[in-house]
Amino acid sequence: MARSLFGLVGLGATLMFALPAAMLGLEFLFVQGRPYAGTLLLVAAALMILFEEHVTTPGDLPTMVADRLLGRAAGDSEDEE
């Protein structure tokens, strides 16, 4: 699936928070022997990424409109050539 610039920035921001939580969860789970805390952190990291990918919030609506307008404008100029 192709991503727009806004989508990539949003995913990058989400991963900045989700990856450290996942790494800490893996450390808790396998190194320190704290399975509940490790599992909780891994689930939280997975939910952060899934939420960003699949849930549309009111803050996403202006981005979706801008993507459609820019995509439509870019598509029109390519069709003329």
Confidence grade of residue 75 (pLDDT, cut at 50, 70, 90): low
At residue 4 the predicted structure's pLDDT band, cuts being 50, 70 and 90, is confident
Give pTM, 2 decimals.
0.68
- In whole angstroms, what separates CA 22 from the centre of its chain? 14
3-state helix, strand, coil in the chain (%, to 5): 85, 0, 15
pLDDT, one tens digit per residue, over 7-64 is 888 899 999 999 999 999 999 999 999 999 999 999 999 999 998 888 777 777 887 7
**Of 80, 5, 14, 8, residue with least CA distance to 46:** 14
